[in-house]
Amino acid sequence: MLEPTLIAELALLGLCTGFLAGLLGIGGGMLMGPFLTLILSHRGVSADLAVKMAIATSMATIVFTSVASVRAHHQRGAVRWDIVKSLAPGIMLGGALASVGMFSVLKGTWLAIFFGLFVSFSATQMLRDKKPQANREMPGPAGQVAAGGVIGFLSGLVGAGGGFVSVPFMVSRNVPMRNAVGTSAALGFPIALANTVGYIVSGSALTALPEGALGYVWLPALAVIGAGSVLTAPWGAKIAHLVPVAQLKRIFALLLYCLAAYMLYKGLAG
């Protein structure tokens, strides 16, 4: 049984991450990871395992968040389903390779450092707002499968829905920001599904897991956060269509910097 205080903390986290998932198309995992690492560490879970469980549980919640947010974006015509279909096969493959293979080999502290460095780079690219060439378009079928593989693999290592990679990638290819956010929300589902299965498989042999864990996924947190996130994700998606694009980019970048700083601290301290 979870303590009432912990339930309240997880519910608040779910409400906040659901809203941000809808607003920014990031799936919420990049916000949940640092906070779940903190919560698990306070419950006596080792630093290495806490980081891995936080990443895995964050990813699992995106299964719920993505469904809620993508519906709202789809109703506003913001989802490029042609891009979703082209990127999804590579995403599934890349996610499986990361969650079953690399994730179980790397130490949690190294994953935290990688999280911080890569997210900082993504935030800088977004904040620079470098204009793509006018004739730059999405790559062909093979190129999109390859791009999907990279998105799925990187997402599997940091437990995020891929928006931190897919949104800048699509914007650089002249996909409008709001369409990039809506499409990223749709991509969150195959990313989350492939990686969550991988986290469960790769962590199934561990014996030092806390109560309620299924592989690396912490089921009590998944249930509470998932319930909260589906309530607020549609609100975030609605706001995303009202906020100026430039402001949306700044919010995205500043949020990523904050999360990257915490995970870098956690990795270096560990």
Q: Note the pLDDT tens digit of each residue in 203-247.
A: 888 888 888 899 999 999 999 988 888 788 778 877 877 777 677
Higher-pLDDT residue of 37 and 69 is: 37
C-beta separation of 95 from 195 below 8 A: yes
9 three-class SS: helix
Q: Summarize pLDDT for 170-208 with one digit per residue, the tens.
A: 888 888 888 888 898 888 888 888 889 999 998 888 888
30 three-class SS: helix
* 218: phi then psi, degrees, rounded to nearest 5: -95, 100
82: number of Cβ within 10 Å? 11
What average pLDDT does this structure show over 90-97?
A: 89
Q: Summarize pLDDT for 99-114 with one digit per residue, the tens.
A: 887 777 777 778 778 8
Query: Could you tell me how many helices (H) and strands (E) the chain has, helices first?
Result: 11, 2
Tell me what pLDDT residue 131 has.
56
Angle at 160 between CA 154 and CA 161, to 5 degrees: 95
- Cα separation, 157 vs 148, in Å, equals 14
- Cα separation, 25 vs 191, in Å, equals 13
Tell me what pLDDT residue 68 has.
72
Categorize the per-residue pLDDT at 129 as very low, low, confident or very high, splitting at 50, 70 and 90.
low
C-beta separation of 138 from 98 below 8 A: no
Tell me what pLDDT residue 85 has.
92
Tell me what pLDDT residue 149 has.
92
